[in-house]
Amino acid sequence: MDPKQERALLRRARNDPQALRALYDHYFPKVYAYTSYRVGRVQDAEDIVADVFLTAVDKLDMFRWRGEGSFAAWLFRIARNRVSDFYRRGRGSEEGVALEDLPCLASSALLPADAIARKERFAHLRRLIDTLSPRRREVILLRFFGGLRNKEIAALLELDERTVASHLCRGLRDLHRQYVDEEKREVPHEQGV
Amino acid sequence: MSKEYELTEQDRMLLEEIEESLADGEGREEGALHGLGVRLASTVPRADDAFRERLASRLVARMQQRTAHEADEEVTGRRGARRWFPLGRLLAQIPSPATGLGWAVTALILCLFFGTVTYAVVPAVSRLFQLEDGLQHVEQADLVQELDLSQTMHGVTVTLERAYADANRIVVDYTVKHPDDQRYEASRLTLTDADGNVFPRTVGWGASGRSDLFGIELPEGEGNYVNSFDAASVKGAPAELDLRLAMELREFVLPTDTPGTSVGSSSAPAEPAEPMVVELEPMPQGDVVGTFAFDFSVPFIPGRVVEVDQTVETAGVAMRLERVVVTPSEARAYLRFDPPTEVETSWTSIVTLRAPDDRKTRGDFYAVADDSPVHVYGFPAPLHERQGEWTLKVTELVGTELVPPYEQVRLAGPWEFRFRVP
């Protein structure tokens, strides 16, 4: 979203439903995707996403524009805090989410049409991402699923932009390594069947 | 930046590929590094449309609810509604005058729930009603009207136990009984007369379950509450008042975290963009049980009005004690002062009252900050028979600026008034 447009929407969003809706439409998919990867289950993701946006509406007065990306960073800070709360209260399980509880994927030509297969792909990727260090995992999730730019991630995580880029590259390499290793491990398994 | 995070040429190429893959979503070689980036970018979870729309509706409703609430408060402010500061100086510290009463009552109730002072356990209703000397006196003098009016909704019974009225205040005492473990609170408590005039609430307290602070232990599923309303608007000296007490009863919900200060691990910074701003938020609200309303009559006891009209100037601030109104339950002082300040400031002060033959120097129990420069201080004590020279002393003025950063201003006195009560 164009920063000028975003700033204008933010000024109006306090009491203009259309402005609020425009911001919501832009950020909802990103917050939802990020949260889904962090918590796994659809129901948990929905609860947290609802809480994030309701909190944002309530606290909009407290938001201070600090240039491009500042709102995204502010909104995702709320989301990260809510996810942290979720795990701190012991409501989250890092593993063992049933397939039917996983979210649907947006679609892609790269993935099979079968919804179950897509969900398996989601679960697989989520497992791999969970093997990364917390910082790299966060950068990968914010970049690929939160749709944040490096500059916005840097503002959110209070890092230098180049450090974010570095985490992104190395996180992706770690992930790739895991991916290749798993494929190698799967070959003898498949042969044995 | 440390060397650890320096980008290599390979990194830069990878970043470009990532940007490309995120931009067009097209895949290349399966299994290659950039292919993984594409795969990640193409496995974005998608929300259920119905959920997305439901949440959008909730957000708009929340926004409109807040806007309407603010507009309502603005109108109330323009009409000159009073801002109440129960327990005076304690709450004068809170820079949230628009919600002062709500916070005060809530804070007080929470104090009572979680208090740790130990008293002997006595019957609950008496102990609560006798929290201060004034009500203790009127109860012992048999000036309190027993009512025993009950209403039940959804299994929750509210009983208006008794009431008392004089020229300074009207006090009601009610209990809430419920079959479950859920606590309840009156979120909108209003007292009106037969003409619909509203009596503002000044202070309230209550307890549910066991309160060590009051030394009471209520039966399980029962709460007892006492609320005091300002009766200064009663005209003349009617024999009794015809009143209606209405309350919206809600489930009492404790907050799960502290907004603005909570949250996350050390890697998760606080949400507000301005870390120095501490915003007090309303307590979370539970489901509404219903609106209970009681019509009742209570004898009215007129007060003695002492027109003092003395002015004392200290620290460049002229303060006038206009009058004192004495009733069996309370003495009340009307002070006029308006210290010059650069920004809008809410003032209260530290005030004591000494009456002849009274063993105690009384501190104000609550204060009222009006939009006008008249400030009202209540001393709930049986002083109506004390004749002779009284002394009212304002030791300090305490102001809280009503704009961020809510600086506190203190002006040292004293402003001392001596006057005769016939």
Local confidence pLDDT in tens for the 422 residues of chain B = 455 556 666 666 667 766 665 555 444 444 456 667 666 666 677 787 888 888 888 888 877 777 665 554 443 333 333 333 333 222 222 233 333 333 344 344 433 333 322 233 334 455 667 677 888 888 888 899 999 999 999 889 999 999 999 999 999 999 888 877 777 778 788 999 988 899 988 877 777 766 655 566 677 778 888 899 999 999 888 999 999 999 998 887 765 544 433 323 333 344 444 444 445 555 566 788 889 999 999 999 999 999 999 999 998 899 999 999 999 999 999 999 888 777 777 777 888 899 988 777 777 666 665 566 888 888 888 888 888 999 999 988 888 777 777 777 888 889 999 999 98
B45–A106 CB contact, under 8 Å:
yes
Cis amide bond preceding B255, omega within 30: no
**What mean pLDDT is reported for chain A?**
78
Nearest by CB: B38 against A33, A110, A143: A110
Q: pLDDT at position B305, please?
A: 94
Instruction: Decide: A77 and B269 in contact? Cβ < 8 Å.
Output: yes
pLDDT band at A2 (very low <50, low <70, confident <90, very high): confident
The C-alpha atoms of residue B11 and residue A36 are separated, in whole angstroms, by 28
Residues contacting B418, CB < 8 A, separation 6+: B389, B390, B391
The C-alpha atoms of residue A57 and residue B65 are separated, in whole angstroms, by 11
B259 at A interface, C-beta within 8 A: yes
The C-alpha atoms of residue A155 and residue A161 are separated, in whole angstroms, by 8
DSSP state of B264: S
The C-alpha atoms of residue B101 and residue B203 are separated, in whole angstroms, by 8
Chain A positions touching B403 (Cβ under 8 A) are: none
Radius of gyration of chain A (CA): 18
Nearest by CB: B60 against A20, A77, A134: A20
A134–B260 CB contact, under 8 Å:
no
The C-alpha atoms of residue B219 and residue B199 are separated, in whole angstroms, by 31
Chain A positions touching B272 (Cβ under 8 A) are: 59, 62-63
The C-alpha atoms of residue A173 and residue B24 are separated, in whole angstroms, by 21
The C-alpha atoms of residue B178 and residue B158 are separated, in whole angstroms, by 9
ipTM comes to 0.82
Query: Would you report the helix, strand and coil content of chain B in percent, each value rounded to 5?
Result: 25, 40, 35
Any idea which residue has 């989301």 for tokens?
A79
Q: Where are the alpha helices (DSSP H) in B42-131?
A: 49-78, 88-92, 100-114, 124-129
A179–B31 CB contact, under 8 Å:
yes
Chain B positions touching A175 (Cβ under 8 A) are: 36, 40
Chain B positions touching A88 (Cβ under 8 A) are: 265
> Could you tell me which residue, A106 or B346, shows the higher pLDDT?
B346
Q: Is residue B264 left, alpha or beta, with left meaning phi > 0 and alpha meaning psi from -120 to 50?
A: left
Q: Please name which of B167, B328, B140 lies closest in space to residue B236, comparing C-alpha atoms.
A: B167
CA-based nearest residue in chain B for residue A49 = B55
Q: Please name which of B92, B108, B89 lies closest in space to residue B204, comparing C-alpha atoms.
A: B108
Q: Is residue B272 left, alpha or beta, with left meaning phi > 0 and alpha meaning psi from -120 to 50?
A: beta
Pull the structure tokens for residue A138. 């966060």
Output A112-119 pairs: Cβ under 8 A, ≥24 positions apart.
Answer: A118/B43
Indicate if the pLDDT at residue A75 is higher than 80: yes
Would you tell me how many other CB atoms lie within 10 Å of the CB of residue B119? 13
CA dihedral angle for residue B93, residue B285, residue A42, residue A72, rounded to 10 degrees: -30
CA B225 to chain centre: 15
B314 forms beta bridges with B317
Q: pLDDT at position B346, please?
A: 77
CA-based nearest residue in chain A for residue B13 = A169
pLDDT band at A108 (very low <50, low <70, confident <90, very high): very low
A110–B62 CB contact, under 8 Å:
no
Which range scores top for mean pLDDT: A21-30, A110-119, B98-107, B117-126? A21-30
Residues contacting B69, CB < 8 A, separation 6+: none
Pull the structure tokens for residue B143. 């000036």
Radius of gyration of chain B (CA): 29
Chain B positions touching A66 (Cβ under 8 A) are: 273
Annotate B148-215 with DSSP letters as a single string: EEEEEETTEEEEEEEEEEESSEEEEEEEEE-SSS--EEEEEEEEEETT-PEEPEEEEEEEESEETTTT
B268–A32 CB contact, under 8 Å:
no
